[in-house]
Structure 1
Amino acid sequence: MPTYGCGAANLYPGYCANGDYDVYDYQSVNESKSLLGTQAQLNGKFSTAGIRHEFATGVSSSQRRDYFGDYVYEWAGTSNVFHPLITPQSDKTTGPVVLRRTDKEWSVFAQDIITLSDTVKLHLGLRHQHISRSQLDITGYDDSYLLPNIAVVIKPAGNWSIYGAYTEGLEHGGIAPKDTSNENVMLNPGKSEQFEAGVKAELSRDLAISAAVFRINKPLEYINASNTYVSNGDAVHTGLELSAQGKLSPQLSLGASLTAIDARQKNLADPLLEDKRVTNVPTLKSTVYLDYALQQVKGLHLNTTWQHAGSKAFSPDNKVSVPGYDILNFGARYVTRLSGISTTLRLNVDNALDKFYWRDVTQSSGGYLFPGAPRTYKLSAQFDY
């Protein structure tokens, strides 16, 4: 059952001063999605005029069918943060389940990796994609797209390379959240484009690093002032990625990554939203992973992970934001053989410090905050036959 607001104080979203909050019963019984995809591909290598080609071409298709009925979303009672209560289920039931949405796609694609010299490779690709979509009580959608991609990879030395790439993709369109004027309607597709340039290097046999800058333009989707979920303007993500992985010693392995993103809303007619941060995109994300192999116990590894996420914009006008967070995880794995079978035993403690944090945000139903999981213990065994 989802929770939302404090009805006693007419506060949405939020909690009552004494910790009370409203509880709602959400039901969508027998909702289902049927997915089917096929692909046929031909790969080959050949040379023309001394230039080597690695060529691939093929066709693909997919079909999606969504079945659901009118759902139930009813106030069920009140609970409390400090003294949780069990609330009764609503006596209402969901409506008849029928086919509400179909999405059919097919595409033809070709990709060629051209070796121009011992140090230069050119990647060329083109995809023709056709989408046919129908939604209950809504006019169907039928259109085709040409999606090119190109990249150049230069290896001045055997242990490092630089590259630049341009890619066009397709955003299939989000589904309007609950309580919007066009609820459950999937928006039309829209093109996205990405520019990226970077460098990769192997500094030694045990250490590899990479760095890249990128810019992604894609359709901006949000709930406007008329409470309609729309695609309007662009979400422009400009960022930097850094990563390193390798061994600091024969026993200690390291993995580290950092992504800094400036995500902005562009090309909007509304000056209150223009150039504001895109919602639910952290300004900074970083991860550090350490793995230590104990010499005293063969096959036993201890590891820890630190994760950081920066602040996020909660509302399109950026009047509300949520703070960043840091999470610490611990783990151990033991590799052995049981009855001749290779076995890996794992124990993980996620969010070891049991820190409360907001994992994600959404504008659905006036706005929700999703808390992250509390301290969680995981025990697993893997058998490789």
Structure 2
Amino acid sequence: MTSSRLARFPRQRVAPLAAAVRRAFPLIALPLASLAVNAYADGSPTAAGAATGTSTNTSTASGTAAAAKEGALPTIAVNASATALPGDLSPAYAGGQVATGAQVGVLGKQKIIDLPFSMTSYTSRLIEDQQAHTLADVVANDPAVRSAYGFGNFSENYIIRGFEVDANDVALNGLYGVTPRQLVDTGALERVDIFKGANAFENGAAPGGTGIGGNINLETKTADDKPLTRVTVEGSASGQLGTHIDVGRRFGDNDQFGIRVNQTVEGGSTSIQDEDRSTQQTALSLDYRGSKLRLYGDFIYQKQHVTDGRPVVYDTSSIIPPLPSASYNYGQSWSYSDMEDTIGMVRAEYDFAPNWTVYASGGVRHTDEHGDYASPTYGPDGATTSYRMGVPYKEDAQSAEVGVRGQLWTGPVSHAINLAALVNRIQADAAYDLGSSFSTSLYNTVQVPRPATYFTSGDFAAPGIVSSTLMRSVALSDTLGFFDNRFLFTVGVRHQNILENGYAYGTGVQDSSYNESATTPVFGAVYKILPNLSVYANRSESLTEGGTAPSDALNAGAVLAPYRAKQIEAGIKYDATNYGAALAVYEIKQPVAYTDATTMIYATDGTQRHRGVELSAYGEPIKGLRVLGGVSYIDAQLQNTDGGTYNGNRPIGVPAWTFNANLEYDLPQVPGVTLMARAIYTGKQYLDEANTLPLASWTRFDLGARYKTQVFRHDTTLRLMVTNVANRAYWSSALGGYLTEGAPRTAWFSVSTDF
């Protein structure tokens, strides 16, 4: 973790409360789960209506149209819910890997075929069957998404349509800022929604300033209509062991109360030499489902520990470093990272009138991080050096949203109205120290003693404030439906204010300030050629904080307006119930600022332009055969660069081609046995803007199998998943201007039993 990345986020003084919750949380959650199990040992839920996931105020479009013609205000089909209920989750395609709908920010729950945007929602079933442990394992299934390590640490960052999504800019149940920082365990996740494209209207600008080409929203597990008690024991060939307990119950006269508890404990040696990782996550979800009122509470405690983690590699030479072996570790044994997150969220929605719902949600997160980091720098003639950086880091975030959704008619035209206000506040306290530089190697790494501190900034015992961010926005949209909603036209606008203050390490004296506003519109259209075939188009924007002129510019200290990336997109979607497919073409233009070498004025003069085509397919086109994958092509260029030096070159870390193919096949000869094979391809990318340092393309092959049976009358599933079967060594990403090496061959096995 470097100092430039430390000073990005703010903190409120809630650490004492977070510490109390952290200590008490596992003691509260597991007894509650036990009580729920005992209460339902001899019973079963009876909420048949909830199981259908059908709203009580829903009517057909044809009935609505008929009522409108008679001059009466009809009963309109509305889903104004702020979050998806467990029984109201969008159904998955056959095979259960991808859902037919998702949560789309301020637009709420939507069927994907009705959206004028590109989106994919991955399910908890895919997570379980692939034994996906972190978010990167899940998004590896998407041809438009890749992942890499963060800057100088072990966090996961993601790349959507060639643009970075920082791990801290992933949303949780629709809110930014409350997701576990840097690494997300998958034990509590019900859905992973990936929105592809500019998204400032739908979700607001991400606090970390990324998400230009898309964003990721995580939906947590809540109690389903069917009782669940599932125990999973797993292990890896390298020595990791873990358990996962998932308990869910509904109770009350109409099953209106729900509880879901997920507990994950995992640790041991990874497939990278000498690297150890451990994870602990406890997640508690409580909910109430009334006829008009719905309430939710989510509480998550997560702790991650990495010892002797393999770091990223910086390169100041004129060549790409030769690859070490796939499992070789060029890190130092004293390097480590401790990351601890305590999260609480509450959500509520109330149907105050037919077809109209008001909703509110709020969440807080406290993060406590400590670590010693050392990433090698590969220099001229192969000389490699590194240095130690120690970090205590604390971050507190609050996020809240309030809004109203509903539907009305004006003559034959339907209107789906959305109005929402959103606020995010994040504050960071940090300090750091530096140890002296030392020589090292990527191929014959000598373990050196932990370098002594030669420079310290800030108080390690009580880190001081280094940054604070406040983001506020208001959004309004109307989706107009014509011809019995066969043609849908969405128009919306979000006005957003970004306020960020920076403070000097150690002294806490404010040394920078940013306070700017911007308005981002959106236009989208969907036309259903057939009920299961639609074409769409959109014009949308993304928003990030503008730059501040550096000290060597003539306009030093000048603050630029927020950068507005503009996108146009068109596509076609097909939904055949058992399977689906989508094709999208798009162009995204992201402004780039620099100090002109001639005028010495810092301004937004450059452009990073991405033109792309995406094709994806998912579901079960043939009984027993499931497909998941697709292909993405991006023509990415730098334009209007300083002096034209890099005009026409590709941006750093953006491959032209990415390809995924995932096949599952149920063996008819052996009922219950499923075989899986996956190929992931990433084309050539560059480590520098001059395009003189190319990373070779790479292909990874994964294999898996599972067997579903009964053991002592209990449903039991045995799973095996092997990634990078060939144990190929490859530089997986150049995102950020540094190298991330792909993981070596890793074999996981597990046994899950439902009681």
Shorter-chain TM range is 0.7 to 0.9
> Of the candidates 103, 106, 110, which is equivalent to residue 472 of structure 2?
106
Structure 1 residue 49 corresponds to structure 2 residue 411: yes
Question: For the residues of structure 2 that align with 1:242 and 1:197, how far apart are their CA atoms?
Answer: 12
User: CA separation of 1:261/1:224 partners in 2, compared to 1, >3 Å: closer, same or farther?
Assistant: farther
- Corresponding residue of 2:378: 13
| Aligned residue in 1 for 2:21 | none
- Aligned twin of 2:429: 67
Distance 2:433 2:616 in 1: 45
Q: Distance in 1 between matches of 2:560 and 2:436?
A: 27
SS at match of 1:279: coil
Partners of 1:158 and 1:290 in 2: how far apart? Answer: 27
User: RMSD of the TM alignment (CA)?
Assistant: 3.2
Indicate whether 1:280 and 2:650 are aligned. no
Of 644, 654, 668, which aligns to 1:271?
644
Q: Given residue 276 of structure 1, which amino acid in structure 2 is its aligned partner?
A: N
Q: Structure 1, residues 334-354: CA drift from partner, whole Å, max 9, x if none?
A: 445567765544321111111
Aligned residue for 1:90, secondary structure, equals coil
One-letter amino acid of the counterpart of residue 704, structure 2: G
Q: 1:27 — aligned with what?
A: 389
How far apart are residue 5 of structure 1 and its match? 6.8
2:589 aligns with: 217
CA–CA distance in structure 2, aligned partners of residues 236 and 16 of structure 1: 35
Once residues 577 and 521 of structure 2 are traced to their aligned partners in structure 1, the CA distance between those partners, rounded to angstroms, is: 36
After TM superposition, list the pairs within 5 Å mapping 1:182-331 onto structure 2.
Answer: 189-202=562-575, 204-220=576-592, 233-331=606-704
Residue 147 of structure 1: how far off its partner (Å): 1.0
Alignment correspondent of 1:368: 738
Counting only pairs closer than 5 Å after superposition, residues 145-164 of structure 1 correspond to structure 2 as: 145-164=518-537
Q: Distance in 2 between matches of 1:247 and 1:311?
A: 32
1:86 paired to 2:484: no
Residue 361 to residue 84, structure 1, CA distance change in 2 (3 Å) = same
The answer to whether the Cα contact below 8 Å between 1:336 and 1:342 also exists between their aligned partners in 2 is yes
Distance (Å, rounded) in 2 between the aligned partners of 1:342 and 1:145: 54
Q: How many residues align?
A: 361
**Quick one: distance in 2 between partners of 1:381 and 1:187?**
55
The aligned amino acid for 1:108 is V
Amino acid across the alignment from 1:85: V
Q: Tell whether the 8 Å contact from 2:421 to 2:472 is kept in structure 1 after alignment.
A: yes
Contact 1:77 1:88 in 2 (8 A): no
Q: Distance in 1 between matches of 2:740 and 2:593?
A: 20
Matched residue of 1:31: which SS? strand
Matched with 1:131 is 498
1-structure distance, mates of 2:584, 2:423: 33
| Of 98-107 and 70-79, the range deviating more from structure 2 | 70-79
TM-score calculated relative to the size of structure 2: 0.44
Shift of 1:211: 1.1
Between the aligned partners of 1:5 and 1:190, the Cα distance in structure 2 is 29
Cα offset, 1:23, TM superposition: 4.9
Q: Distance in 1 between matches of 2:542 and 2:400?
A: 20
- The structure that is strand-richer by fraction is 1
* Distance apart, 1:94 and its partner CA: 4.5
In structure 2, runs of 5+ residues without a counterpart are 1-307, 322-376, 504-509, 549-558
Contact between 2:518 and 2:562, CA under 8 Å: does it hold in 1? no
> Shift of residue 304 of structure 1?
1.1
2:511 maps to a residue whose letter is I
Q: Secondary structure at the match of 2:727?
A: coil
Q: List per-residue Cα deviations over 1:299-318 (Å, max 9, x = no partner).
A: 33221110111111211121
What is the CA distance between 1:362 and its match in structure 2? 4.9
Deviations 1:194-245 (A, max 9, x none): 110011124x5544222111001113378999xxx99751111000011122
The 3 A distance-change label for structure 1 pair 38 and 73 is farther
Change (3 A) 1:223 1:80: farther
Post-superposition offset of 1:323:
1.3
The answer to whether the 8 A contact 2:661-2:678 is kept is yes
**1:230–1:332: structure 2 CA closer, same or farther, 3 Å change rule?**
farther
**How far does residue 286 in structure 1 lie from its aligned partner after superposition?**
0.8
Q: In 1, are the aligned partners of 2:436 and 2:452 still within 8 Å (CA)?
A: no
Contact 2:472-2:497 at 8 Å conserved across structures: yes
- Is the alpha carbon distance of 1:36 and 1:271 closer, same or farther for their aligned partners in structure 2, counting shifts above 3 Å? same
**Contact 1:76–1:89, Cα closer than 8 Å, also in 2:** no
1:255 partner letter: L
CA shift in 2, pair 1:157/1:123, >3 Å: same
> Aligned in 2, Cα 1:173/1:342: closer, same or farther, shift over 3 Å?
farther
Which amino acid in the other structure matches residue 697 of structure 2? G
User: Contact (CA 8 Å) 1:349, 1:377: kept in 2 or not?
Assistant: yes
Residue 44 of structure 1: CA displacement?
1.0
Q: How far did residue 115 of structure 1 move? A: 0.5
More helix by share: 2
**Alpha-carbon distance in structure 2 between the residues aligned to 1:191 and 1:306:** 36
Contact 1:312 1:321 in 2 (8 A): yes
Q: CA separation of 1:231/1:311 partners in 2, compared to 1, >3 Å: closer, same or farther?
A: farther
Would you say the 8 A contact 1:23–1:87 is kept in 2?
A: no
Q: CA deviation at 1:89?
A: 0.9
Q: Secondary structure at the match of 1:270?
A: helix
- Measure the CA separation in 1 of the matches of 2:528 and 2:712: 48
SS in 2 for 1:281: coil
